[in-house]
Chains A and B, each alone.
Chain A
Amino acid sequence: MEIKGTIYRVAGPVVTVINVPTKMYDVVKIGNEGLMGEVIGIEGDKSTIQVYEDTSGIAPGEPVENTNMPLSVELGPGLLESIYDGIQRPLPVLMEMMKSDFIERGVTATGLKRDKKWEFVPTVTKGTSVAGGDIIGTVQETHNIEHRIMVPPNMSGVIDTIKKGSFTVAECVCRLTDGTELSLMQKWPVRAPRPVSKKLMPNVPLITGQRILDGLFPVAKGGTAAIPGPFGSGKTVTQQQLAKWSDTEIVVYIGCGERGNEMADVLNEFPELEDPKTGRPLMERTVLIANTSNMPVAAREASVYTGITIAEYYRDMGYDVSLMADSTSRWAEAMREISSRLEEMPGEEGYPAYLSARLSEFYERAGRVNTLSGHAGSVTVIGAVSPPGGDFSEPVTQNTLRIVKVFWALDAKLSQRRHFPSINWLESYSLYNNTLSDWYDEHVSPEWSEMRGDVMEILQKESELQEIVQLVGSDALPEDQQLTMEVARMIREYFLQQNAFHDVDTFCTMEKQYKLISAIMKYSDLAITALESGTPLENILAVKAKDTLAKVKFEEDFEPTLKTVLSAMDEEFEELRR
């Protein structure tokens, strides 16, 4: 039986209740309408609750009920293709139940549909001993994704009965000899990481189809990356590009305190776009969480946990999962808002002192792992960061950079001149470059790592030369340096720039990436040789094939054009030599 207490005080999303025993993180129903909230502090007989819905009109004296359950998500078939709010309420269901296009309050909705039947095929039989994480059967969740039904962690036993057939998520499909019943669904408290058997070193890159990322600053599957930048610099577009084109099997996309229209966009686009690997609609591998800026901040705070728990669950089945959180700064601000209502001692810029701990706990949930059942799986976490005024020295950016291994630094100067993606190639880094170079050399080309080094060197050189040019003009540079400047320009414009809104350019295979950059480097080599043998720079810069190279990236069937360009280049240089 639940024990009822009463509301003592209401101040925005923070409510104090009395006369009801609670534990930290218990879910509590507040007021006559039963608004959902979570215990975030206990002092004497008073508990402090963060409420996931608007508290207007709620008054002291109204009843409070403790569910005695921590905030949990439902995990099972039906997660894919869903769009949830921060506490896993399906938004289409809310629309139906509320009979409104706006989010009203006091409505509860389960994360998984209770009436939908799934075809369950057992993979174990009576008498098998099973332990937490073991797979007992499968459900075809979407066309390509097989949902592996697992024994919940912290549970084990011997199979007594297991049934093939059509079941809802709540029905019993399997009974252990001790009487425990298993269904297609399990629940997991969002704030606790799901256990794994072992964490492994990430050693395979997440291929994103984005040239600057794959080419210069790759993130490993199971790794962590942050993408900080001022507004309008490309955080969301980059995150969406990653959600669209990354070669993971499952994508969890969290719109955390950002725009409603951006989520509507994803909802509109993802069912239409095809996964380049499987040819299936992207939506079939995606779970969306949308807790926009104007939705309750407490639910925003919870949204990243809801998302990462779902990601871990698919990882436990042995999948590679990637999770994008746009934006982690809004999550941190939600913590700050709640913390200040609690009148906690503020740390830097008003953020709570535990900001850094929360951030690292979150990113720690990424990783390449051996699952409890011994399969390999991974969760890659990519967080957008929105520093006030674009100033990277602020606490959220700084604390994040201390944790993540990849830093994609967005640069307003680049976005202003419409150089996209506006990732600054000098400031960004990937600490995975060394561990991943073997993979690239084996799977892309043995020359890859060396070429990457050359490209970075040219770009670095360009920035040094630019300082001189700013003082004396480019004509004053020696010819070989002018040539370096030109090659750097080609790298920037023909390779690094990539238009997310161009049908072809939006995604670039590794093979195409390699061929594009090789072609640029080939020009560079030919040009240097020509220059050394006395050909005037002017003529080298006038090579026409070079300009045609600019458009190769926009062609779907680029090989013929590239071939023509390369042989034209040979001919032109041959011509120059004579």
Chain B
Amino acid sequence: MKEYKTITEVSGPLIFVEKTEPIGYNELVYIKLEDGTTKRGQVLDTSNDIVVVQIFEGTGGLNRECGVRFTGETIKLPVSIDLLGRILSGSGDPLDGGPNIVADDRLDINGAAMNPYARQPPADFIQTGISTIDGMNTLVRGQKLPIFSGSGLPHNEIALQIARQAKVPGSDEKFAVVFAGMGITNEEAQTFMHDFERTGALERAVIFLNLADDPAVERLITPRLALTAAEYLAYEHDMHVLVVLTDMTNYAEALRQMGAAREEVPGRRGYPGYMYTDLSMIYERAGVIKGRKGSVTQFPILSMPGDDITHPIPDLSGYITEGQIVISRDLHRKGIYPPINVLPSLSRLMNSGIGEEQTRDDHKAVSDQMYAGYAEGNDLRGLVAIVGKDALSERDRKFLEFADMFEDQFVRQGKDEDRDIEKTLEIGWNLLAELPEAQLTRIDNELIKKYHPAHRAK
């Protein structure tokens, strides 16, 4: 491999190199510093005259004397089943003092797009034990369902609770967990590690950590490494893999930073115009393949800057993912855990994961009715603030009370409380029974007869 000492320019995270041989687009590049350390980079632009390389570990310490070697291949992750139980850096080096991974295979971290024809529509109900998710925003195996949160909100606790409790009822297969931390604080990382250790999850987890003080550019590869590991475990080892990516906002910020360094024309609010495509190459790496046993389920976490769901990061994510679980500051302030606001939340794959064969025949109707009831009660709160409770009709008062009870009994639950779906639906019916029966327009009469507490009692 030829070494060039022909860096002509260093600019932000980019270097410009003159070279003689043809260099491939996206190739992995090693840069040797004068102090003997090596950095890695990737070719962004290659022409007859010059090559532009982005450096993952940042360009600190780089100068024109550095040696540049082009490897002739794209970035690869060495994979083997021994990845399980390991803690690696954001660029895939061991952080846990363990040995290097003895590779069974080396896989391109960008992956390739799954042929849509090869996809099996996800349909296996995952019980997370959290009522607002299982009951009203059901997760299925192979789905990508992000948590939209904000700074200071308990998204990590919720993610951990899900990782601990997630199971497919009636099957004892455990999920393997692939965790990618991007720009998270050391303390957050500790919380996750501690919980994984406490619950024994570490043995069936692979952890990639890019911390807040690690170079931002490295964040661009961390989720790709994690998903490559996940795909390997899912499709080569038949495992059901749950991938937690946190915090995607830090990822997107790194993307913006790179765009700025490349002096690209920015899109909305300074984020690159290709951010949708770029994010989709991460999120779309979830799914189930026909005829294969394993699956990749994604649980990305992102914090919404300024709690604004229309900000490009949550917005573009929501356009790609199969729904979103939205954490609410209001509920959090009310002291409710998990503070999930069901109204803006959605699971697009819920319909295929519920019903008689998977959960229960009344699941959809109960969920729809609770949505309608809670939405109505929630609206009335605004009115009450203006005209007072007395101006409400009897009917409206019932809905107002329903909204309060809903938050207190259905939404609120313990951090270790693992509710099965029967329990979740039971709580739902008990709440609905507080509304006049004629108002339950979303539920068939037959289901009302079968499940409504007033009828069941008889």
Contact = CB atoms under 8 A, between A and B. Distances in A.
A and B together in one complex: yes
Nearest to B19: A60
B406 to A, nearest CB: 14
Interface string A98-117: 10111110000000000000
A389 B310 CA distance: 4
Interface residues of A, number: 77
Contacts of A472: 387, 391
A62 B113 CA distance: 25
Contact of B118 (A101, A257, A350, A551): A101
B393 A475 contact: yes
A231 B273 contact: no
Interface residues of B, number: 82
Given A261-B287, A349-B268, A418-B372, A83 B116 contact: yes
A95 B281 contact: no
B266 A350 contact: yes
A416 B310 contact: no
B265 to A, nearest CB: 5
Contacts of B284: 259-260, 292-294
Contacts of A471: 386-387
Contact of B281 (A9, A294, A350, A417): A294
A55 interface: yes
A62 B25 CA distance: 12
A85 B331 CA distance: 45
B316 to A, nearest CB: 8
A168 interface: no
B454 interface: no
B45 A10 contact: yes
Most chain B CB atoms below 10 A, which of A10, A12, A475:
A10
Contacts of B274: 297, 333, 337, 340
A554 B48 contact: no
Interface stretch (A159-167, A186-194, A243-251, A264-272): A264-272
Contact of B112 (A102, A265, A391): A102
Interface in A369-428: 386, 388-391, 412, 415-418
A355 interface: no
B441 A550 contact: yes
A278 interface: no
Interface in B108-158: 108, 110-122, 142
Nearest to A493: B441
B73 interface: yes
A260 B273 contact: no
Interface in B419-439: 438
Contact of A261 (B277, B322, B391, B392): B322
A181 interface: no
A60 B74 contact: no
B113 A292 contact: yes
A10 B24 CA distance: 8
Interface string A293-323: 1110100000000000000000000000000
Contacts of B320: 259, 293
Given A102-B111, A261-B122, A470-B383, A9 B375 contact: no
B344 interface: yes
B285 to A, nearest CB: 8
A294 B47 contact: no
A293 B280 contact: yes
Given A60-B22, A95-B118, A261-B287, A9 B273 contact: no
Contacts of A550: 441
A57 B121 contact: no
B116 to A, nearest CB: 4
Given A61-B22, A95-B115, A472-B387, A10 B280 contact: no
Given A57-B25, A61-B22, A474-B393, A261 B121 contact: yes
B74 A391 contact: no
B276 A264 contact: no
Interface string B297-317: 000000000000011100110
B268 A388 contact: yes
B46 A10 contact: yes
B55 interface: no
A389 B289 CA distance: 32
A94 interface: yes
Interface in A449-475: 469-475
A59 B22 contact: yes
A388 B391 contact: no
Interface stretch (B1-9, B185-193, B345-353): B345-353
Contacts of A154: none
Given A57-B26, A260-B284, A350-B267, A103 B121 contact: no
Contacts of A60: 22-23, 46-48
Contacts of A57: 24-27, 73-74
Given A59-B46, A60-B46, A418-B372, A475 B310 contact: no
Nearest to B142: A261
A333 B276 contact: yes
A263 interface: yes
Most chain B CB atoms below 10 A, which of A290, A294, A551:
A294
B391 A475 contact: yes
Contact of A54 (B112, B117, B122, B351): B112
Given A57-B74, A264-B119, A337-B273, A103 B386 contact: no
Nearest to B136: A418
Interface in A39-58: 54-58
B181 interface: no
A257 B284 CA distance: 11
A57 B73 CA distance: 7
A231 B348 CA distance: 11
Contacts of A340: 264-265, 273-274
Contacts of B445: 551
B102 interface: no
A346 B263 CA distance: 14
Contact of B323 (A230, A232, A265, A476): A232
A211 interface: no
Nearest to A296: B113
A375 to B, nearest CB: 34
B375 A418 contact: yes
A506 to B, nearest CB: 12
Contacts of B318: 230-232
B343 interface: yes
Contacts of B311: 389
B393 A388 contact: no
A230 B316 CA distance: 10
A336 interface: yes
Given A54-B112, A59-B22, A92 B117 contact: yes
A8 interface: yes
Given A268-B121, A337-B274, A62 B287 contact: no
Interface of A: 8-12, 16, 54-62, 83, 91-92, 94-95, 98, 100-104, 230-232, 255, 257, 259-261, 263-265, 267-268, 290, 292-295, 297, 330, 333, 336-337, 340, 346, 349-350, 386, 388-391, 412, 415-418, 469-476, 493, 501, 547, 550-551, 554
Interface of B: 22-27, 44-48, 73-74, 108, 110-122, 142, 235, 264-268, 273-274, 276-277, 280-281, 284-285, 287, 289-290, 292, 310-312, 315-316, 318-320, 322-324, 343-344, 346, 348-349, 351-352, 364, 368, 371-372, 375-376, 382-383, 386-387, 391-393, 396, 438, 441, 444-445
18 contacts: A9-B47, A10-B46, A57-B27, A59-B23, A60-B46, A62-B22, A101-B292, A261-B142, A264-B119, A265-B121, A295-B113, A333-B276, A350-B266, A388-B315, A388-B316, A417-B371, A471-B387, A551-B444
Question: Which 6 interchain pairs have the tightest Cβ spacing?
Answer: A389-B310, A293-B280, A9-B47, A417-B375, A473-B391, A101-B118
Given A57-B74, A61-B48, 20 more contacts: A9-B48, A55-B26, A57-B26, A95-B115, A100-B115, A102-B113, A102-B118, A268-B121, A292-B280, A294-B113, A294-B280, A333-B277, A337-B273, A340-B273, A389-B311, A417-B372, A473-B387, A474-B396, A501-B364, A551-B441
